[in-house]
Structure formats: C-alpha cells, structure tokens
Amino acid sequence: MLRARAGHIRVQEAAQLSGLSPRSFRRDIKDLAGLSPQSLLRIFRFRNTLEKITRCKDLPLCGLALEAGYTDQAHLTREFLTLGGFTPKAPMQCPGGI
C-alpha cells in the first residue's frame, strides 16, 4: 500500500486502512522492512519522482515537486541529495538516466 501510493499517504491513514493502530502499524513495518514507515514513504516518493524525471526529461522541477508531494523545489532537491546523492537535474542531463 505504501509503495502503491508512492509516498502520498500519511502513516495514520495507512494504519487505519490496514486495520491496525498507528503504533502497531509502525512496529510491524519496522519489523518487516527494518525502516520506519516514514522512511519508506520518503524512499517510495523519491523513486517515483526519479522514474518520472527519467521518462520525461523536460518536466519543470517546480511543478514536479508539488505533484510528487514535496513542499517546494528546494525540498525536492534536498531529498534527492540526501537519498540519491545527486540533484534532480542530473538524470535529466544523462542520456540513459541514472
């Protein structure tokens, strides 16, 4: 469910949809994945955004950031640097993507 929503779901909502308390949901995800639900959501949102960038290299980053759920383009850039080690422009400049 977290992957399918590509980071566009709150932990509270995901817990409710799975019939668990938020605490149980967090604990179960941590046990299964070794990461917190919030960390997984960040990774899924990053991966989804990276796929969009590599498919369509002329997307405006500001619009893409808002569509993907980042607060602004700077937030998108920080997440790319933190999770991928590169800026969102890097995949746009590579012929085959990253």
Please tell me the predicted confidence (pLDDT) of residue 9: 81
Q: Does a structural domain hold residue 5?
A: no
Which CATH number covers residue 65?
1.10.10.60
Q: How many domains does the chain have?
A: 1
Q: Does a structural domain hold residue 98?
A: no
Which H helix or E strand runs over 23?
A: helix 22-33
pLDDT at 96 over 70: no
Q: Does a structural domain hold residue 6?
A: no
Instruction: Note the pLDDT tens digit of each residue in 24-79.
Output: 999 999 999 999 988 988 999 999 999 998 888 788 999 899 988 899 999 999 99
pLDDT at 95 over 70: no
Please tell me the predicted confidence (pLDDT) of residue 7: 64
Cα–Cα distance measured from residue 32 to residue 92, given in angstroms and rounded to the nearest whole number: 34
Please tell me the predicted confidence (pLDDT) of residue 19: 93
Q: Does a structural domain hold residue 4?
A: no
Structural domain containing residue 85: 11-93
Predicted model pTM: 0.81
Q: Does a structural domain hold residue 1?
A: no
